[in-house]
Structure formats: structure tokens, C-alpha cells
Amino acid sequence: MRDEAPFPDTGRRSLVLGLGCERGTPPAELVDLAVSVIDRPEAVAFVATLDARAAEPAMHAVARHFSVPLVTFSAARLEAETPRLANPSDLVFAHAGCHGVAEAAALAQAGDGGRLVVEKTKSAHATVAVAVAVAESFQSLAGVSSQGDSTSSHSDSRPEHA
């Protein structure tokens, strides 16, 4: 599953959780899946996904769990990551318009210098992947990629308590 272990210890938030899920996925399922692949939760900087899943409660639950922003990308932007995917899927392309969601979203937010440290991992209704980035390669915290087609949901992804 993991390309390397443990996660790089850079002393800062450098990990991006890329997530995919079916509509209506129970929030606990996605949170549990995300937690299962992260050794250093304090290193998670972003949760990223396909814009078509931006309203899914499970996505926001993961962002709240890690106290980080949820960033979304269009299918076209995620499709641009296909050459870097470890597990491209024609089935995912048929449903989502891109060859991967979890891996592609993690890599898109991690930027050009980012790389996968956890390939796509599945549960019954969801997927997660993890990318690590150097600070200079992160997409803008405002969520605007170089193509200008991603969005960010900062207010909805913050925890209710500190």
C-alpha cells in the first residue's frame, strides 16, 4: 500500500489526503479510511477531491477531523494528473470524467513537486490516497490552481471547536 514508511517528518504540514466516494457515503466510513492510512495526522495540510463531491458530508467530516481545508478540482484538472497516477481506471473515467479521483486530487493539490506516498486505498464506498509536497509545490491555499479551476471550502471544513 505505502511506497515508503514512515511519512517524511518535515516538522510541518506537508501531506494531502486525496479522497473519492460514492454519493451518500457515511462520514464515519471515510474518516476511518483516512485515519487508517495516516501515521502523522499533524502533517495533513489539505483534503482534496473532485468538485462533484464538494457537498458530500463525508468530505467535510474528514476535513473537520484533521482541521484542514477541503479543496476541490474539476474532472478536467484531475484528468491532467493521469500520467502521475499509480492506478488509473477506465471505470472511474466513465463515471467521473477523469482516470482517478483520490490519487489525482492529492497530486493536484501537492503540485508539480508532489509525489504519492500512499496509493489508492479502498473501503466499501470510498477511496483515499496521500501525496507529500514541498512547501513551494503546494497549490495556493486559496484553492486556485495554475489552471484556475479549483475551489476551496475553508469555512465549512473548519472544526467547530479548537
Whole-angstrom distance, CA of residue 38 vs CA of residue 62: 12
Above 60 in pLDDT, residue 5? Answer: no
Do 133 and 113 form a contact (C-beta atoms < 8 A)? yes
In a domain, 65, yes or no: yes
Whether the per-residue pLDDT at 20 is higher than 80: the answer is yes
Q: Does 130 fall in a domain?
A: yes
Model confidence pTM above 0.75: yes
Domain CATH code at residue 19: 3.30.420.180
> Domain residues for 116?
15-145
For residue 83, is pLDDT > 70? yes
What count of other Cβ atoms lies within 10 Å of the Cβ of residue 121? Answer: 17
Q: Is 111 among the domain residues?
A: yes
Is-contact 79 97, C-beta < 8 A?
yes
Domain membership of residue 8 (yes or no) is: no
Average pLDDT over residues 39-43: 94
Q: State the chain's mean pLDDT as an integer.
A: 83
Distances (CA, A) of 146 to 100, 114, 130, 137, 153: 20, 15, 21, 11, 18
pLDDT digits (tens, 9 = 90+) for 99-155: 999 999 999 999 999 999 999 999 999 999 999 987 665 554 434 333 333 344 333
**All cell numbers assigned to 130:** 496521500
Neighbours of 46 (CB within 10 A): 27
Q: What is the pLDDT of residue 134?
A: 73
Q: Residue 156 falls within a domain, yes or no? A: no
Amino acid at 2: R
Residue 153 lies in a domain: no
Count the alpha carbons within 13 Å of 17 in the hemisphere toward its beta carbon.
Answer: 38
- Say if 155 falls within a structural domain: no
> Does residue 140 fall inside a structural domain?
yes
Count: domains in the chain: 1
Write down the H helix ranges in the chain.
27-36, 57-66, 75-79, 90-96, 102-110
pLDDT score of 13: 79
Distance CA 83, CA 123 (A): 24
